[in-house]
Amino acid sequence: MTVAKPPYHADVVGSFLRPDSIKAARKARAEGKMDKAELAAIEDEAIRDVIKMQEDAGLKAVTDGEFRRAWWHFDFMGMLNGLDIIQREGGGIQFHGVHTKQDVPVITDKLSFPADHPMLEHFKFVAANTKVTPKISIPGPSAIHFRIADADIAVGEYKNDAEAYFEAITATYKDAVKAFYDAGCRYLQMDDIFFAYLCDPKIRAERKARGEDPDWLIGRYAKMMHDAIADRPDDMLIGMHMCRGNFKSTWVAEGAYDPAADAIFNQTDVDIYFMEYDTDRAGGLEPLRLLPKGKKRVLPGFITTKTPELEDLDDLKRKFDAASKYADLDQLGIAPQCGFASTEEGNDLTMDDQRRKLDLVVKTAESIWGRV
């Protein structure tokens, strides 16, 4: 079977609700009651199932559901050379009404991407077990800078020279992009949510209080992304997901994309944009006017992963009518607003809710564009 190459009009962000088998196995492993090989075998089986679920829904790009991870970003980051994830009282991330576990990323040495980074094998497993396009989602380069406090940087060069720090992150990601390509990846997604965070007035004020200009930071994050992917071969597409936080159906940030829209669309050189648009927290569709004409594609996340209620197809069509006033309809597509489980805890939906949302993604694409 020949599968059309991405981009698609129907797609997914990447993470899915963890089945009970994964939850029980990871708990047993943490308690020393299961070895690494046993856990991997259970993960393998669950991943084959989630790949089949995506294929059966009609999607042409599939992921492993991030089933081997606890976090959407910290697992990848902690597998880099020079970066560790530690547990610290008072650590973690505050969401609206709930706090994550107390994991904290710290830089202990010079950053680099290891040739044996485990997620290269994670990708290869998906590629070996799907009939369609395998995709992997990793955190974007801004995640390292945004999530690590100055006090948790042990490398003096990074702490005292912002440009040296940005360049080290960029070089690490350049190597990551090449390594994934060499592993066979032709569709790599980077979750670079901090563009959206830096549109939030409160977060902008917090950064200013730290002596950082949030608009300069947006531009610098865009340059990191641009430079990290600049050398990718022509047959490798890069997607970028943006949201305002996703943990147990809660959120962190709010604010329209306007402060970051030009940087997002015209400075990153990304091919496909997954943009949260399920609530008023994301603002209006006007920023889509800055999408360059051509092959780039935006997938507005009108379908939420935070609640089980199923969106109405006619209402979704009306939203795309509105979006098409700012961007060419053929440069648009549909994906859920975020993953269903950005962390292993997952959002407040059932497996059936999740499947219905996927079916709606495909149904919407077929209804509007006649194909996924």
CB 25 within 8 A of CB 39: yes
Give the CA dihedral 114, 190, 109, 88, nearest 10 degrees. Answer: -120
Here the contacts of 209-218 (C-beta below 8 Å, separation 24 or greater) are 214/259, 215/259, 218/259, 218/260, 218/263
CA atoms within 13 A on the CB side of 223: 10
Please tell me the predicted confidence (pLDDT) of residue 316.
98
What global pTM score does this model have?
0.95
Task: Work out the widest C-alpha separation in the chain, in whole angstroms.
Answer: 57
Domain ranges, residue 226? 20-369
Question: Does 127 fall in a domain?
Answer: yes
**Mean pLDDT score across all residues of the chain:** 95
Question: Does 4 fall in a domain?
Answer: no
Please tell me the predicted confidence (pLDDT) of residue 11.
98
Mean pLDDT, range 51-56, rounded to an integer: 98
Question: Does 6 fall in a domain?
Answer: no
Strand order in the sheet with 272-276: 136-139, 187-191, 237-242, 272-276, 297-301
**CA-to-CA separations, 268 to 261, 262, 264, in angstroms, rounded:** 11, 9, 6
Give the tens place of pLDDT for each residue, 168-201.
999 999 999 999 999 999 999 999 999 999 999 9
**Those residues with Cβ within 8 angstroms of residue 262's Cβ, 6 or more apart along the chain or in another chain:** 290
- Residue 302 corresponds to which tokens in the numbers above? 């009108």
Give the tens place of pLDDT for each residue, 276-330.
999 999 999 999 999 999 999 999 999 999 999 999 999 999 999 999 999 999 9
Question: Does 66 fall in a domain?
Answer: yes
**Those residues with Cβ within 8 angstroms of residue 289's Cβ, 6 or more apart along the chain or in another chain:** 326, 327
Question: Does 5 fall in a domain?
Answer: no
Q: How many domains does the chain have?
A: 1
Task: Using alpha carbons only, give the angle 204, 206, 208 rounded to the nearest 5 degrees.
Answer: 70
Q: Which CATH number belongs to the domain containing residue 114 in this structure?
A: 3.20.20.210
Give the tens place of pLDDT for each residue, 30-50.
999 999 999 999 999 999 999
